[in-house]
């Protein structure tokens, strides 16, 4: 069993928070129940029920529906 005491999970966007919640639960239930799991996101939808520990930008995606484009989503268009 891994003995990591802290884990930081980073994602480009925290939209609903469901992915982060599932990851946290899985790590604590199956890998290390004492692990301090934290989350960081470039963008956080501040209208979701989940708030990451760290974020760079926030947006209210339910009130003001926007699509945030990331460079890594369009890499294939340059081929």
Q: What domains can you pick out in the chain, each with its CATH number?
A: 6-78 (3.40.50.2020)
The C-alpha atoms of residue 22 and residue 26 are separated, in whole angstroms, by 6
Task: Determine the average pLDDT of the residues in 16-41.
Answer: 89
d(CA 12, CA 56): 10
Whose CA is closest to 27, among 63, 55, 50, 3?
3
Whole-number average pLDDT of the chain: 87
Across residues 46-64, what is the average pLDDT? 93
> Are 57 and 66 in contact, with CB atoms under 8 Å apart?
no
Q: Is the pTM of this model over 0.85?
A: no
Residues 6+ apart with CB under 8 A from 15: 45, 48, 61
Average pLDDT over residues 14-20: 92
């Amino acid at each position: 069993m891994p003995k990591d005491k802290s884990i930081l999970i980073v994602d480009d966007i925290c939209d609903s928070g469901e992915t982060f919640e599932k990851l946290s639960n899985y790590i604590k239930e199956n890998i290390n129940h004492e692990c301090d799991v934290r989350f960081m996101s470039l963008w956080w939808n501040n209208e979701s029920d989940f708030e990451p520990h760290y974020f760079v930008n926030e947006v209210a995606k339910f009130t003001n529906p926007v699509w945030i484009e990331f460079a890594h989503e369009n890499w294939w268009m340059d081929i």
